[in-house]
Amino acid sequence: MNEGAYQPIGNYGIIGNLHTIALVSMSGSIDFMCFTRFDSPSLFGAMLDAERGGTFEITPRLDDADTKQLYLPDTTVLVTRFLSEAGVAEITDFMPVKTSERNCVLVRTVSITRGNVPFRMRCMPRFDYARAEHRIEGGPHEIMFTSLSNPKSSFRLMSNVPMTIDGPDVYAEFTLSEVEQAHFVIESSSDDEIRSAEDAIHFYTTTDFEATVDFWKTWIGRSQYTGRWREMVNRSALTLKLLTSFQFGSTVAAPTFGLPSVIGGNRNWDYRFTWIRDAAFTMYAFLRLGFMEEAAAFMHWIEQELDTIDEAGETLQLMYTLDGRRELPEEELDQLSGYRNSAPVRIGNAAYSQFQLDIYGELMDSIYLYDKYHGAVTYAFWKKMERQIEFVCDNWSRPDHGIWEVRSQECEFLQSRLMCWVALDRAIKVVEHRSFPSPIDRWRTSRDEIYRDVYDNFWNEEKQAFVQFKGGNALDASALLMPLVRFIHPHEPRWLSTLEAIERELISDSLVHRYRLDSGAIDGLEGEEGTFTMCSFWYVECLSRAGQLSKARLLFEKMLSYSNHLGLFAEQLGKRGEHLGNFPQAFTHLGLISAAFDLNRRLDSFQSY
């Protein structure tokens, strides 16, 4: 496979409809899209195999054209612009927000600002992760694609310029002059009344375009954040909203699967699921920005999961599908070569069966914040959650797989123990606020026991730091959460010493490794990995809380410069500052919001003296 056929991961923008997303490259190709839901099989997947994955590209035939991408202000409507001596062209991409995932529509409009520009369009879908053949039929302006393995997975492609069927694909060649436009619309099969192609194109490119712009401007206009770096905070908020299911209220960790942590490596996971940890942190971000509806929808989703858990006599699982199913069997897609030959490409995620104790703390903290910001924590809901807190009380000392989901061993991880303390501490606060009849004396005893265990038994005298797991000597960036969750004061001597140790061993300027793979917990895989961008934002917030405001601000603004051209972040950064891993990553963007929120507040207080 020619690696030159792949664009950098950071060369993409995203559009979405709160059910799925599409990744649009700076050259105008849609190279990733799952159809019609985040966790549905891919329809376009050229990012994971340039030859077999499938793509939907619109290419201007301009020599030496420069390209730029931008979002229409305060929206997720994406414009890709091509500039050359011969002419200037734009492709505007968006997906109308619909209440049902079956009403999935993708709209692409080509327009000319200057000159006469020839184009070529190629629509090359590959159903079911490029495993299924499809049937194609229709005329020059309306063509139907139907998967042979799943006839319900079908769509029609409509255009106001003539299209030609070429085997399993469709192409069009056309030239536009100033003020002329070409429209291409993908519309999934649904129960809605079927409009004629001409009427549908007119509706989607006028009425639905205006409604989509208004939806996003209205939504972000409800944000209560008015501080520094507002544009980046808003873009992160819009990204988190795009990753949140309209139908279920759950949030995916990222909208992609199989994008590698290291080029040519095998750390290629599927992130299109709802991690309790990631979703809870996302709710922190929404609550801080004033988006109560999103937090309430997630709480409703959690309550449904707790109902299912109660009926089955089980405990909370670390991740679920969007609609709350518990099993996420992992398999490898041998037909796809992987991004720049980074195989295997995996779907599903075997980590769903791991035991991870930290999730109770993240979830309980989000419930506490929801209650603090006037959310309706009812006793009916609390009785279900109380059973999970009792589980923490009985099991906090057990080893687990930890936040990084190591696959080869269980340990007594610092971050897991820390979040068990958070679970009990926040549960006590909610009970005291609501006067619920819960066994808080028992919880308080366990909470204090955990505190002493962490403070005494996870401290390494030689390192002068809290270490990754009990009895170990490796440092872990997840320790940066200790002051962020108010376990330890940011000026505590042991914490300041830990921070200094992390700076020596894991941090280069603003870039943070989660831990050193050659000294920490063994994850069972070979190869290196990049720095974790969310850990960089944790580091900034730690500096902010410790009063190191000048340093925190400098490093925060350096981290912002590592975003792609649209303000988006993947999970990791490589040695050249390239984006690696699934893209965009919710955890990274919520870390950005949290760091900006804390740093801006402290800068305001400092400057007021």
User: What are the DSSP calls for 53-88, one per residue?
Assistant: S-EEEEEE--TT-EEEEEEPTTS--EEEEEE-SSEE
**Topology of domain 9-220, CATH:** Beta-galactosidase; Chain A, domain 5 (2.70.98)
pLDDT score of 92: 98
Helix (H, G, I), strand (E, B) or coil at 420: helix
pLDDT of 609 reads 45
Q: How many CB atoms lie within 10 A of CB 314?
A: 11
Cβ 417 vs Cβ 389: under 8 Å: no
**Which residues have C-beta within 8 Å of that of residue 564, sequence separation ≥ 6?**
10, 11, 12, 579
CA angle 367, 372, 376 (to 5 degrees): 65
**pLDDT reported for residue 537:** 98
Rounded mean pLDDT for each run of 10 residues along the chain, 609 residues in total: 80 98 98 96 98 97 94 98 95 93 92 96 98 96 95 93 97 96 94 87 97 98 97 98 97 97 92 96 95 95 93 90 95 97 96 95 96 90 96 97 88 98 98 96 98 98 96 96 97 97 96 83 66 98 97 98 98 96 97 98 80
The domain limits of the chain are 9-220, 231-607
Beta bridge partners of residue 175, listed in sequence order? 118
Buried b / exposed e along 235-256 (16+ C-beta atoms within 10 A)? bbbbbbbbbbbeebbbbbbbbb
CATH topology of domain 231-607: Glycosyltransferase (1.50.10)
> In angstroms, rounded to a whole number, what is the distance separating the alpha carbons of residues 438 and 458?
30
Q: How far is CA 151 from CA 135, 155, 596, in A?
A: 9, 10, 47
Reported as a single tens digit per residue, the pLDDT across 526-557 is: 657 889 999 999 999 999 999 999 999 999 99
CB 577 within 8 A of CB 530: no
pTM for this entry: 0.96
